[in-house]
Structure 1
Amino acid sequence: MFYHIKELQYRAKPSCPDPAYAKKLQEVLGGQYGEISVMMQYLFQGFNCRADEKYRDLLHDVGTEEIGHVEMLATFPRELEKQEVSYDLFNFSRGDESSQGRWARGEAFDGRGEFRYISVPVAFASAPHLKPAPMWLHNTLLPMSKC
């Protein structure tokens, strides 16, 4: 089970379409080593983990975070990424077993930051107020013709 907050973490609105960039983004999102592959690897490793519970919890937390990356990549320009949270581990699970590992506190392995464990993550923005999508995008909402 996943806990999903129905709010955008960041407000992002590209100024215009860019098909070349979209093609590159598709590779990062769904390519062989893209976010979707990474997400699935972490989640399946967590599902099959027979080690101490803190490791399974960590794998599920990272897999859930990767789901968020997939969502962000689909909607967010990288140059506006919030670097302040690069070393934060957000707990998206019941329990706090993943807070017990080296990844939850102390100096980061690259020496550029400090790991922090965020037990109760909060959204960085308020709920957006979006216009409904145009009807032509959701043609299944149109009445079906009778044969």
Structure 2
Amino acid sequence: DSMRASVKLALFGLLILAAAATVYALWPVQVVQLESDGQVVHRILLPGGGEIHLDYQHSVVRAPVKEVFHLAGSDSFVLVRTEHGAFGAGLPTEHFGEFRQDGDRYVIGGINRLLPEIPLRVSAGSEQKLTVPDSSEVALLDLVEAGSLVIITARKAMRWRLFFR
């Protein structure tokens, strides 16, 4: 009789565990989704404040550039600032936002441009990568070939989709 009770208790525990795992897997989470040619090529969990960085090398001066985006709602981004490792003719000097020097970086802040998606043509020599601070980083050339168009969007997705890109 105690054996039967132990089996029932174990089965009940497994049922609770399976239910919790199902809820966890189906619970919607905020993700950054990268698509190319209509196919999802990568998803990254976007925790907390919802900030992403697009880092690359400027094609002419080979200086680092960082574009910083914040999540706007659950399906758009806001370009907050850009950071450049060089300054001069042909480099960004936007007339909007605030331009300042921060150490060896030139920062254009206060841009606040709303973007429902971030379209990006991947280049072989620019070392483009998408970073979610304190979480994840992906080199775009690891996902698609040079010359491919990648569309970066913010989405809600079920957590299990993060395991099956």
| TM-score w.r.t. length of structure 1 | 0.26
Higher-Rg structure is 2
The structure that is strand-richer by fraction is 2
| TM-score w.r.t. length of structure 2 | 0.24
The structure that is helix-richer by fraction is 1
